Amino acid sequence: MIALLKRDLKLAMRAGGGFGLALVFFLIVVVLVPFGVGPEAAMLSRIAPGILWVAALLAALLSLDRIFALDFEDGSLALLATAPIPLEAVGLLKALAHWLTTGLPLTLIAPVLGLLLHLEPQANGHLVLSLLIGTPALSMIGSFGAALIVGVKRGGLLLSLLVLPFYVPTLIFGAEAVRRGGQGLEAQGALMLLGGITLACIALLPFATAAALRITLR
């Protein structure tokens, strides 16, 4: 399993530049927002939690279609289906590799980009914590969506349409936690709900992902 994770990390870093592309996209969105809504610090500070979370969510979408596509194209996915490792573990490892190369870097760079949007300093901790808790759910949901469209040519748009509705609860509670943190309010409730969503995704979606892959490989 460790070897499979290392292999997926190398593929994620090489194929399509997913690591750098997500960070560049995140930066571009944050930089463009002041041009669209104006440079007023009060306005930017008010919308910063939602903008940062939306930008992170969209950046995480960029490399989802490659989670299983490369393995399907070279036949590795069929071999994994017959390997001693269960497909549920394969799906979980694929999601973990996506999070390590996309979700974690986005989490680490978010406070720096928050400065561009005049995010309240006391909200930085809540921003990092909410992304750290919530982005694994994005990767798990994304891996399930990628399993559904594996083998479909140019399925990137279809994948986005499939997973975006399931991203909404994570987006709502993540942005709310940051907003409440910036206002000096209690954010524990939003963070707990965010953690509950992530734990539910980790517990349930590997089985759904494996079922989708088995249907595709029949």
Which pLDDT value is given to residue 111?
93
Of 67, 56, 91, 86, the closest CA to residue 11 belongs to 67
Tokens matching residue 102? 């996309």
Burial track 142-174 (b if 16+ CB lie within 10 A, e otherwise): bbbbbbbbbeeeebbeebbebbeebbeebbbbb
Tokens matching residue 74? 């070279």
The three-state (H, E, C) secondary structure of 99-126, written as one string: HHHHHHHHHHHHHHHHHHCCCCHHHHHH
Which pLDDT value is given to residue 150?
86
- HSE, CB side, 13 Å, CA atoms: give it for residue 103: 22
Which amino acid appears at position 81 of this protein? A
* Overall number of domains in the chain: 1
Which pLDDT value is given to residue 11?
67
Burial track 98-118 (b if 16+ CB lie within 10 A, e otherwise): bbbbbbbbbbebbbebbebbb
Which pLDDT value is given to residue 123?
94
Q: Tens-of-pLDDT digits for all 218 residues of the chain?
A: 677 777 777 766 665 555 678 889 999 999 999 899 888 988 999 999 999 999 999 998 887 877 887 778 777 787 877 778 888 998 899 899 889 989 999 999 999 999 999 999 999 999 999 999 999 999 999 999 999 888 777 777 888 899 999 999 999 999 999 999 999 899 999 999 999 999 999 999 999 999 998 888 77
Range of the domain at 53: 2-217
Is residue 134 helix, strand or coil? Answer: helix
Which pLDDT value is given to residue 69?
79
Question: What are the contacts of 157-162 at 24+ separation with CB within 8 A?
Answer: 159/61, 159/64, 159/65, 160/61
Count of C-beta atoms within a 10 Å radius of residue 75? 9
Of 61, 82, 191, the closest CA to residue 133 belongs to 191
Which residues have CB under 8 Å from 87's CB, separation 6+? 80, 81, 209, 210, 213, 214
Which residues have CB under 8 Å from 19's CB, separation 6+? 12, 13, 101, 102, 105
Which pLDDT value is given to residue 64?
85
